[in-house]
Amino acid sequence: MAKYIFVTGGVTSSLGKGIIAASLAKLLQARGLKVTIQKFDPYINVDPGTLNPYEHGECYVTEDGAETDLDLGHYERFLSNYTSQANNVTTGRIYQTVINKERAGDFLGKTVQVVPHITDEIKRRMLLLGQDDQFDIIITELGGTVGDIESLPFIEAVRQLQWELPDEDLVVVHLTLIPYLKAAKELKTKPTQHSVKMLSETGVHPDILVCRTEEPLNNDIKRKIALFCNVKTEAVIEAMDAATIYEVPLLMLREKLDLICLRKMNITGYAEPNLDKWKGFLDKLKYPKSKVTVGLIGKYIELQDAYKSILESFVHAGAMNEVKVEVVNVHSEFITAENVSEKLSGLDGLLVAPGFGLRGIEGKIIAVQYAREKGLPFFGICLGMQMAVIEFARNILGMKDAHSVEMDANTNYPVIDIMEEQKKITMMGGTMRLGSYPCEITEGSLAHKIYGKYSITERHRHRYEFNNQYLDQFQQNGMVASGINPETGLVEIVEIPSHPFFIGVQYHPELKSSVENPAPLFVSFIGAAKKYNEQLHTSVKKAAQVS
């Protein structure tokens, strides 16, 4: 039987529950245990798929096509294990299940209530992944902050489980903040005391407190927190701000977070953690040999979480290439033909981001043209690939108003068209082409060089596709389809062989990049940017020698 660790949060949001959960999971995994992480979100949307990225950051898509919270991205990047629909549950999904059951008459005439019916459904889902022998430990991150009205049923479910399960089968980790008051030159424990008090009032008592802090917690402070919050002193864990999230597992190892959990769960016979690969990655990340600058062209750049997986993939790919990747965010809405060379100057590569809708589209097309004409490494993802196709149609094939029918339903050249199966869809949630699909790669293509194989699978999230009616024209004029879905013939990869590095993909390679398995496309793109940068320096040096 699996054991369960719950991670709650107090004092304020954005303390990084996801990173703490992922770090703890990493340490337990490194000790040989089979671990997964799930996230329970208190909002009423059935999933975050319909949420604007400004609201909730990126929507993370799993292998099985679930649209989920971006924290699942952290779980996969840390663990190199895939999650699924079962790993992300929202209040909306819980209620949907309960209401469907009520409509089916399954409650046999009973009044359906938050307790026990909603909490029963929450508990069923909390325990679900532990039902077969797949995992030893299930870590559940509870979204929101203790004290929020909407998280109450989740906390109540944890209370009931604490009562129902043997003591050693359940651990509650509470993440809080110990603010440092500059004026008083003091760390303050009161917000943590209040937050633990509030949690205890609901009947849930934390076993471990992980305390986010800018300053180290000395033993006196730890003892004080332990005394007032009724936990063991060694269970007060210092979580100092780290230079990178990938350092957090090592900080937690030093504080023995994993050992304290294992002790509470009465688990023995575990190995010393094997973190060799992880440490190797961290070393490369911390001590890069040079730097490359890449432009991220998007329209949600004000909010870093909107492109979380892309940014993390750059980190993984940078370490593989032993370079620091500096990302310059360029707002596509403000790129014009007049200012493009100024806005994109100094870049070693250009990534045009995924997205939806008309805003910022022309700027993306202008940016693609710049990269194509200047020989600047180019990488287009989903909408970014579609923009590369439109740019090529307009400027090389002479199709002046070529467009995607998403942006212009009446274009004379619908080079990006709606997928056949999407035409009848009216409901927005969970209806895109989602999740993992196979792709066959052409021998000798750039894609083949990058992946080193002929068959791959990658994850998707889109409604529109390359219009195969135009494929011959594109191929005859220099843009080729080097990756095709073998079942449907959908174009998944386009490239320009005469360009040093120009590739667009209909799928999202950033969703499968992890610390221990960086996405090949990102690794190669950063490699191309590094080469571009080196060549630039060599030619500048040569020019200086000549003059």
Nearest to 312 by CA among 536, 63, 22, 38: 22
- 211 given a catalytic annotation: no
- 214 given a catalytic annotation: no
CB of 60 to ligand GLN, least distance (A): 12
Nearest to 136 by CA among 169, 162, 180: 169
> Which pairing describes strands 170-177 and 3-9: parallel, antiparallel, or unpaired?
parallel
Among 238, 382, 391, 492, the one annotated catalytic: 382
462 binds ligand GLN (CB under 6 A): yes
354 binds ligand GLN (CB under 6 A): yes
Query: Do 248 and 240 form a contact (C-beta atoms < 8 A)?
Result: no
Window contacting ligand GLN (CB under 6 A); options: 36-44, 90-98, 148-156, 458-466: 458-466
- Closest to ligand GLN by CB, 6 vs 464, is 464
CB of 37 to ligand GLN, least distance (A): 25
Size of the site for ligand GLN (CB under 6 A): 10
- Closest to ligand GLN by CB, 10 vs 435, is 435
**DSSP element (H, E) containing 374:** helix 361-374
- Closest to ligand GLN by CB, 174 vs 512, is 512
431 binds ligand GLN (CB under 6 A): no
- Closest to ligand GLN by CB, 461 vs 512, is 461
By CB atoms closer than 10 A (0-12, 13-18, 19+), residue 435 is buried
CB of 382 to ligand GLN, least distance (A): 3
Q: Could you say which residues in the range 402-421 bind ligand GLN, by CB under 6 A?
A: 406
Chosen residue from 128, 356, 442, 500 binding ligand GLN by CB under 6 A: 356
- 382 given a catalytic annotation: yes
> Which pairing describes strands 455-462 and 35-41: parallel, antiparallel, or unpaired?
unpaired
Query: Do 77 and 447 form a contact (C-beta atoms < 8 A)?
Result: no
Window contacting ligand GLN (CB under 6 A); options: 164-172, 188-196, 287-295, 351-359: 351-359
Chosen residue from 16, 49, 144, 355 binding ligand GLN by CB under 6 A: 355
- Closest to ligand GLN by CB, 15 vs 521, is 521
463 binds ligand GLN (CB under 6 A): yes
Window contacting ligand GLN (CB under 6 A); options: 185-193, 227-235, 457-465, 520-528: 457-465
Query: Whole-angstrom Cα distance, residue 145 to residue 42?
Result: 10
Q: Burial code of 242-256, b = ≥16 C-beta within 10 A, e = fewer?
A: eeebbbbbbbbbebe
CA distances from 93 to 74, 96, 120, 460, 461 (A): 22, 5, 13, 22, 20
Residues 6+ apart with CB under 8 A from 537: none
514 phi-psi bin (left φ>0, alpha ψ -120 to 50, beta other): beta
- Closest to ligand GLN by CB, 403 vs 461, is 461
Q: Which residues contribute to the site for ligand GLN (CB under 6 A)?
A: 354-356, 382-383, 406, 461-464
